[in-house]
Structures are given as C-alpha cells and as structure tokens.
Amino acid sequence: MAAAHDAHDAHAAHAHDHGHELPFWRKYIFSLDHKVIGIQFLFTSLFFLIIGGLLAGAIRYQLAYPNAKFPILGDLLWADNAGKMTPSDYVMIVTMHASVMIFFVIIPMLTGAFGNYLIPLQIGYKDMAFPTLNMLSYWFMVPAVICIVMSFLSAGGAAAAGWTAYPPLSVIQQASPGSLEGQKWWYMSLLFVGVSSMMGSVNYMTTIINCRAKGMTMFRMPMATWAMFITAILQAFALPVLTVALIFGLLDNLGWTSFFVPANLDGNWIVNSHRRAATGGQPLLWQHLFWFYSHPAVYIMILPAMGMVSDIIATHARKPIFGYKPMVYSVAGIAGLGFIVWGHHMFMSGMAPGLGTAFMVSTMLIALPSAIKVFNWIFTVWGGNVQFTSAMLNALSFVAMFIIGGLSGIYMASTPTDIHFHDTYFIVAHIHYVLFGGSLFGFFAAVYHWFPKMFGRMMNERWGKIHFFFTFIFFNLAFYTMHNIGIMGAPRRYMNLQPLVTPEQAPVMQTMNLLISHSVFALMAIQVIFFVNIFYSLFFGPKADANPWRSNSLEWQTASPPPHHNFVTPPVVYHGPYEYGHPDLPEDHLNQTDPREIRDIGHH
C-alpha cells in the first residue's frame, strides 16, 4: 500500500508541474479534476434552483389568486384561457417543480457538488479514484438536462403525472397531455440522472475505501465524508431499482409493454386508442419500485447535508462533535432502515393493511437515529464558543428546521393519522421542512463555509447574515402554515384550495394561502442576495487564506483554492477531525496533520 502511495505521489508531483499547461477546455470544461467537476455540479444546480424556484412562484401565485389572470406571462402562455393558468399546465408545473428540485437541484448540489469537492480533499488524496468516470458523471447530466428541457418543449407539455409519476396516468398517453411526449423525456432524463449518480456513487465508495491518506482511518474521517460514503452506498443499492422502473415505465408509455397497465381499462379515451397486445400489469408495482428508490433518495438528499452541517457546527462552535461514533452509527442506521420503510408512502394505496402496520413500525424506528443526531448537534453547540458566522447560522437553522421536519414525519408514519394527512398540505409542509429547511439550509451553510476554499475568496458576511435572517423568517412563514391548512384538509396538487367541508373554512384557508404565497415571493426575492453575494465574491471578495475558519480537517491544510492534485506533499493524519478546544494546547484547534500528541480525554 505504501509503495502504491509513493508511486501515486511521484505521479501527482509530475502531473502538478504540468497542471497549469492544460488548455482551457481540458481544465475547466472536460476537466478530470474533482474540484472543477464539483464546481460544475454546483453552478448547474444553482441554475436549476432558479428554474425550480420560478416554478414554485407560479404555483403559489395560482393558489393565492385562483381566479386571477396570471401576471406578465398570462397573455403569452394562456392567451386562449383569458390569461389564466390552465388546469393541465398547473399539474405540469407542480410535477416539474418537484422533479427539477429533487433530481436537478438537491441531489447534484449535495452529492454532485460537495461530494465531489470534499471527498478527496477531506481524505487527503489528489483526486477521485476514477477521474474519467467522474468527468463522465458530470457530463451524463447534460443529456439529462437536454431531456428535461425537451420535456417542457414537447407537444402536450412537460410531464404532468406528479414527480412520483404514478401509472396508469403516466403511461397511458391519452390519460394526460403530459403523458404524450413530455413523460417520455421525463423518464429518459431521470435515467441519465441515475447513470450520473451511479458513476458518482461507485467513485465515492472506491475513493473513500482505497485512497485515504496515511493515518486517515475510517474513524478519523470528517462527518461530511462519512455521510457521502453512506449516501454512495444507498445510491448503489437503490438506483438499479429506479432504473428498472423507469425503463418499464418508458416502455409502457411507448405502448409496447404493460408492466403497470392493468387489464380491462375502460376510460373514455382508451376504448379505441389502446393498442397494447397484452395487458394485465399492476399499477402498484411501480409504487413499490419507485419508493424503494425514492425513500432512500430522501436520505440521499439529507444525509450529505447532515454530514456537512456536523463539520460546520463543530468548527464554528470550536468544540468536538458530541458523540462522533454515535453520529456515524446513526447515519448508517438511517441508511439501513431507509431500505425497509418505503411502504409508508403506500398506506392508502390499496397495499395490504397488515403490511402497512409493519412499515409503520419500521418508520417509527427510523426516527430514532434522527433524534440521536439532533441531540448530538445540540450538545455539540452546548458549552461551545460559538462563532455566529453565516455558515454557522445556516447550520444551526438546519438543526432547528430538521427537528420540525423530523417530528412532522411521525404524523404520517402513524397509520391512523395518515388516513387524514395523506396527500394533504401537511405532507407538503413536511417535505419542505426536510428538503428546504434541511437540505437547502445545509447547502447554504456549506456554500458559506467552503466558498473560501473553492474560490480563494471570502463571501460577504454581512449580506450573508441578512440573507439568512430573511430566509429563515419567510421560510417558516411559508411552510409552517402549510401544516395548518393540511390539518384543515387542503389536498395537495389542487389548483384551487376552496374549502372542502364547510364555508367556515373558506376565509381561514384564503388568509393562509395569501400568507404562504407572499412569504414564498419574499423568500424568492431574498435569494437574489445569495446569488449576488456568490457572483460578487467570486471576483471581488477579500482574499481568503488557507484556513480562514481555523478548521482541523485536511481540506483546510492546503492552499485556497487547492492546487491541481490538492496537496503539495501527501498529508499524514494524526488525529480525528474535531480536536477543538483541547485544554492542553495553547490554541483552540489541532489540525489533523499536526503530529503533536494530546491526552485522550473528553470521553465520559
């Protein structure tokens, strides 16, 4: 192993000498450098964050003013509907908002951007184990992007069967305008995203297992890398199932097969146009396959954020992470249990109710590792020397919001209460507390924290805090109140939330919807600050030194930005990543590369 390392090192040094001679397109476009690939993922997902956000704005305008003409774009898009959004386009926008946010924003921005950027740096290696595969992983996003754009442009509009694409709606072309062409592009787009994720996953696992620096044992890895590692395992086991389901769905939609099309459909549109030779498929099969991937996918979207937030909280609280090993085990526990809870999406689907009971119990248990993590984060902050930086505030907010998102999950995990909450805004509130309150706040924290490393410049702290303050307030106003209308029984994916039960509810519902929509508009406007801060700081931010946060992990023990192949000399690791505030040392942190020995204390 040592010899192999030396050979690598010689190669690394050699390559480093020539690193600057690479032509522009090799260095920044078809780059093999994990840092550049990570940044490519970062900007791609930021672009799609804008698209997904605008789609959310359109949804919220419609819900706030269900009978009004749509501003600005109304005359252009819906001229023959008096400028009002059409029902089929509403469902399409809802579908695409979720699809874009999940598959083109959250997954690429966490595993794609930060997974790529951080893993080799945090384990002290020059690059990923398979740099070419890594490059392909990014470039497989390009056909995915082309397909999702084609979905919008195709006849009948983009896919409109929800991001869950339940058949038969998604596979019978006559069932929905979106199922004509848009849905086919949607299937293909997700297939490419899946291939991209799979390449990343294989690479992350191989790199973390084989390429750690000397002294970097598994239990000296920072939580971010641990989380990326476990996420990669999740992806490797869950993605094949989604791939199969997507191919089945695509074939069904083309009319060649009937995996999900039951016999004897007699919708008005099917009688004459149904040209399948054989039928007899089962729609619930898709739900099982889809959720077997998509429930773990929820953890794929939150675990990396959990890992990064753990690093950020320890660094900015100047304190070792409380219960490092329980943190690792609970990430692994979430991942393991994550594979046996998918049926909780299907309590009302017609799945055997007894099976529902089994999934209910496993789902309750998955709250346990999540709770352990929350307690550990809180006790990491406790007694710390907290630096209230933008990164830290967003990380703390991740914890505060994840508490809500985690606890609200229990209401749907509980089978009797799910009867009422299933497919209402309570679910919408829950998923946004996990994916926005969790993943996106985690992402903001990660950007503020690692931006100096990525680009060698600091972001503006004052504007970072202003961005955080208003994001925090408007996020909560927008999404907490969705619990309220969910309790009232507002169904999701409705373009008009008139009261369902009594006229008494009408004014309450309307007030709530106005509050939610205007908070979302404000939330969107505030994000301009974030984008301007990024692009301004990219060029004009003050220069960052190698370790502006006085952090211990290896990525901070090299220049900002790190040179091609990361480390001038291969690092050697002597400590865990969280040695902050050790009483024997004059300074309050101890780099992982610092050879000084310290007393092993602090365990109780």
Partner 1 sequence: MRLIWSLLFLTVPILGVGLLAMSYFTPGGWLPANISEAGPETDRPLYYILGITGVIFVITEVLLVWAMWSSRGHSEGGKSHYSHGNTKLEIAWTLGTAAILLFIAFYQIPIWSAAKYYSQRPKGKVPDVLVEASQFLWQVRYPAWDAANNRLHALNTLSPDNALSFEQVNELHLPAGESILIHLKAKDVLHSFWIPAMRVKQDTVPGNLAPVWFKIDPKQLEKSCLVATPAQPVRVGDEVFTELYQYEWTCAELCGWGHSMMRARLIVHPNRADYERWLRAASKDWLNKTTAAAP
Task: Return the number of the residue (2 or 502) whose C-beta is nearest partner 1.
Answer: 502
SS (H, E, C) 336-394: HHHHHCHHHHCCCCCCCHHHHHHHHHHHHHHHHHHHHHHHHHHHHHCCCCCCCCHHHHH
- Could you give the CA distance from residue 373 to residue 396 in angstroms, rounded to a whole number? 13
Give the per-residue SS3 of 125-189. Answer: CCCCCCHHHHHHHHHCHHHHHHHHHHHHHCCCCECCCCCCCCCCCCCCHHHCHHHCCHHHHHHHH
Of the pair 14, 493, the CB lying nearest partner 1 is at 493
Write the DSSP symbol of residue 69: P
Note whether 488 binds partner 1 by CB under 8 A: yes
Position among 28, 47, 219, 375 found at the interface with partner 1 (CB under 8 A): 375
- Measured from the CB atom, is 43 or 382 closer to partner 1? 382
Q: Establish how many alpha carbons lie within 13 A of residue 7's alpha carbon, considering only the half-sphere containing its beta carbon.
A: 5
47 binds partner 1, rule: CB under 8 A = no
CB of 207 to partner 1, least distance (A): 27
* Candidates 191-199, 200-208, 225-233, 395-403; binding stretch for partner 1 (CB under 8 A): 395-403
How many C-beta atoms surround the C-beta of residue 466 within 10 A?
16
232 and 304 in contact (C-beta within 8 Å)?
Answer: no
Q: Which two tokens stand for residue 442?
A: 């985690």
Residues of span 399-428 touching partner 1 by CB under 8 A: 399-400, 403-404, 407-408, 410-411, 414-417, 419-420, 422-424
**Selected binder of partner 1 within 320, 562, 570, 571 (CB under 8 A):** 320
Q: Which stretch binds partner 1 (CB under 8 A): 8-16, 168-176, 183-191, 194-202?
A: 168-176
Please, what is the minimum distance in Å from the beta carbon of residue 482 to partner 1? 11
> Phi-psi bin for 498: left (phi > 0), alpha (psi -120 to 50), beta?
beta
Instruction: Note whether 493 binds partner 1 by CB under 8 A.
Output: yes
Min CB(297)–partner 1 separation in Å? 19
393 lies in the site for partner 1, by CB under 8 A: yes
CB of 338 to partner 1, least distance (A): 16
For residue 326, state whether it binds partner 1 (rule: CB under 8 A).
yes
Q: Which of residues 131-160 bind partner 1 (CB under 8 A)?
A: 160
Shortest Å, Cβ 28 to partner 1: 37
Which range of residues in 85-93, 99-107, 206-214, 234-242 is near partner 1 by CB under 8 A? 85-93
The footprint of partner 1 on residues 51-80 (CB under 8 A) is none
Considering only 10, 14, 507, 596, the residue that binds partner 1 (CB under 8 A) is 507
Nearer to partner 1, 368 or 525 (CB): 368
Segment 272 to 301, residues that bind partner 1, using CB under 8 A: 282-284
Phi, psi of 71 (to 5 degrees): -65, 150
80-96: buried (b, 16+ CB within 10 Å) or exposed (e) per residue?
eeebbbbeebbbbbbbb
**By rule CB under 8 A, what count of residues binds partner 1?**
120
Q: In terms of C-beta density within 10 A (0-12 exposed, 13-18 middle, 19 or more buried), how is residue 291 classed?
A: buried
Window contacting partner 1 (CB under 8 A); options: 35-43, 345-353, 517-525, 534-542: 345-353
Query: Does 382 engage in binding with partner 1 (CB under 8 A)?
Result: yes
CB closer to partner 1 out of 47 and 375: 375
Burial of residue 152 (number of CB atoms within 10 Å: 0-12, 13-18, 19+): middle
Among 68, 75, 353, 532, binds partner 1 (CB under 8 A): 353
Residue 367: CB minimum distance to partner 1, A: 6
DSSP secondary structure code for residue 263 in this structure: T
Taking residue 535's Cβ as centre, other Cβ atoms within 10 Å add up to 11
CA distance 398 to 316: 14
- Restricted to residues 234-273, the positions that interact with partner 1 (CB under 8 A) are 262-270
- When the beta carbons of 21 and 504 are compared against partner 1, the nearer one is 504
Binding-site member from 77, 386, 466, 524 for partner 1 (CB under 8 A): 386
Query: Does residue 385 touch partner 1 according to CB under 8 A?
Result: yes
Nearest Cα residue to 227 out of 310, 291, 297: 310
222 sits near partner 1 (criterion: CB under 8 A): no
Q: Which of 61, 322, 450, 556 binds partner 1 (CB under 8 A)?
A: 322
99 within 8 A of 13, measured Cβ to Cβ: no
Choose, by CB under 8 A, the member of 192, 472, 530, 567 that binds partner 1. 472
Quick one: which of 32, 581, 592, 593 contacts partner 1 (CB under 8 A)? 581
What are the φ/ψ torsions at residue 463 (nearest 5 degrees)? -70, -30
Q: Which residue stretch of 101-109, 185-193, 343-351, 564-572 sits at the interface with partner 1 (rule: CB under 8 A)?
A: 343-351
Q: How far apart are CA 567 and CA 256, in angstroms?
A: 54
Residue in this structure with the two tokens 């830290």, named with its chain if needed: 392
Q: In the complex, what is the shortest distance from the CB of residue 553 to partner 1, in angstroms, rounded to a whole number?
A: 16
Q: How far is CA 553 from CA 64, 327, 534, 577, in A?
A: 47, 17, 24, 5
| 3 state DSSP class of 105 | helix
Which CB atom, from 267 or from 595, has the smaller least distance to partner 1? 267
Member of 203, 476, 519, 547 binding partner 1 (CB under 8 A): 476
